[in-house]
Amino acid sequence: MPKAKENVAQMQYAYQIWSLKTSTRKDIYQNMVRKFGTRATISFSTLSRWLSQYDDLPEDEVIQDGPYEWKWLAHYGIPWQEGSLTDELYREYQLRTKTYPSGRHMKWLWREWHLEGQGFRPRELPNTDDTTFFWEQILKNVHKRVEEEKIEYIARKLNWGNVHTSGVLDQTQPNTEDSEILS
Q: Do 76 and 149 have their domain in common?
A: yes
Can you list the alpha helix ranges (DSSP code H) found in 20-169? 25-36, 44-55, 59-65, 73-76, 83-97, 103-116, 129-157, 165-169
Query: Residue ranges of the chain with pLDDT lower than 50?
Result: 1-2, 167-183
Torsional class of 161: left (φ above 0), alpha (ψ -120 to 50), beta (otherwise): left
Q: How far apart are CA 127 and CA 107, in angstroms?
A: 24
pLDDT digits 0-9 by tens, 39-58: 999 999 999 999 999 999 99
Q: What is the pLDDT of residue 160?
A: 74
Q: Do 81 and 152 have their domain in common?
A: yes
Tell me the residue range of the domain where 19 lies: 1-57+160-178
pLDDT digits 0-9 by tens, 89-122: 999 999 999 999 999 999 999 999 999 887 788 8
Q: Do 70 and 152 have their domain in common?
A: yes
As for how many domains the chain has, the answer is 2
Q: Do 139 and 166 have their domain in common?
A: no
Share the mean pLDDT of the chain: 85
- End-to-end, the C-alpha distance of the chain in Å comes to 49
Q: What is the pLDDT of residue 20?
A: 82
Q: What is the pLDDT of residue 159?
A: 78
